[in-house]
Amino acid sequence: MDGPPPPASPAGLSAYVAVSQLLGLTLLATTGAWLGRYRGGVAWDSPLQFNVHPLCMVLGMVFLQALLVYRVFRHEAKRSTKALHALLHGLALVIALVGIIAVFESHRTKSIPNMYSLHSWCGMAAFVLYLLQWLLGCGFFLLPSTSFSLRSRYKPQHIFFGIALFALSIAACLLGITEMLLFNIRDSYSHFAPEGVLANTLGVLLVAFGLVVGYVLTRDDWKRPPLAEELALSMDFKTLTEHESPSGSSQ
Ligand code: HEM
């Protein structure tokens, strides 16, 4: 066959990725079970419209954020991995937008005021910054006209804000869960009502998911290694810029 087989993944990475995906699927199932068993299910043109909100937010702003494309497809061409990364985040954005529309629509039909709670402020901040992050990501990394130097300068910020917004989304979900329990089962929550226990479990799963995914994302030696041709390109660029600026100062 052509060429040697791709190098194996680092020890531990596959196990962590598997645990993260298992946790992700469990937290989606737990969200569905909570809304289905205790909140009447999910529907658009009905009083159940509100329930579309938590479902879409957990799916779009948490689960789909953490498919770990660059860790899983470590040896694929950068171009296709990048396109998949942008596409999945685009899908996550659309799902999150549906969730945001659902809660505003539901508030409108029930004449409930908008944007008064800490949850709604943190949630809206997470959503708007995520939209900005996606637009900037497309502009810097997908537009062929963006220079290599601009991309390299923006990349650390994109990585930091990606992780920070993922953490902020989980925090917003925890606030949303607590708020929803206090709206719906205020009197029985302190007596370990089954709905409260299930929703608390969802909160703990969200925290566990965030920790495992955060660990995978911050392990330097688990980052996608550059392919030979990418390495050659960046060496060319380095030589070029060092030649242009003999002082060699960089930030
Ligand atoms: C990152 C995820 C989330 C984001 C970005 C988000 C965003 C928002 C926003 C912007 C509002 C205000 C809507 C308005 O004022 O009309 C809102 C309301 C609400 N959300 Fe979320 N949400 C998220 C997750 C969740 C989750 C997981 C739950 C519950 C399980 C939840 C429960 C609620 C509740 C009960 C309200 C109505 C009360 C209020 O306005 O604070 N949210 N959310």
Specify the CATH number for the domain of residue 94. 1.20.120.1770
pLDDT on residue 5: 66
CA 152/CA 70 separation, integer angstroms: 17
**Residue 249 belongs to a domain:** no
Whether 57 lines ligand 1, by a CB cut-off of 6 Å, is yes
Euclidean distance between CA atoms 242 and 235, whole angstroms: 11
pLDDT digit string (tens) for 95-127? 999 999 999 999 999 999 999 999 999 999 999
> Six-digit token pair at 13?
């990475």
Full domain range(s) for residue 110: 13-230
Measured by CA distance, the residue closest to atom 31 of ligand 1 is 176
Which of the listed residues 31, 48, 53 should we mutate to test ligand 1's pocket, taking the one with most ligand atoms within 8 A of CB?
A: 53
How many domains does the chain contain in total?
1
Which residues does the chain have with pLDDT short of 50? 1, 241-242, 244-251
In a domain, 180, yes or no: yes
| CA 24 vs CA 21, 39, 70, 197, 214: distances in Å | 5, 21, 17, 19, 13
Q: Whose CA is nearest to atom 30 of ligand 1?
A: 177
Q: Is residue 153 in a domain?
A: yes
By CB atoms closer than 10 A (0-12, 13-18, 19+), residue 103 is buried
Which pLDDT score, from 0 to 100, does residue 170 have?
A: 98
- Residue 214: inside a domain: yes
CA distances from 146 to 69, 136, 139, 141, 153 (A): 23, 11, 8, 7, 11
> For residue 173, which atom of ligand 1 is closest to its CA?
27
Identify the pLDDT of residue 229: 64
Q: Indicate if ligand 1 lies below 6 Å from the C-beta of 126.
A: yes
Give the pTM.
0.90
* Rounded-to-integer distance, Cα 199 and Cα 192, Å: 11
Is there a domain that residue 245 lies in?
no
In a domain, 191, yes or no: yes
The answer to whether the CB of 109 is under 6 A from ligand 1 is no
- Asked if the structure places residue 251 within a domain, the reply is no
Q: Ligand 1 center to residue 177 CA distance, Å? A: 9
- Give yes or no for a contact between 157 and 133, defined as CB atoms under 8 angstroms apart: no
**What are φ and ψ of residue 170, in 5° steps?**
-65, -40
Residue type, 70: Y
Q: Tokens for 93, please give them.
A: 């954005």
Residue 96 forms part of a structural domain:
yes
Residue 127, ligand 1, Cβ within 6 A: yes
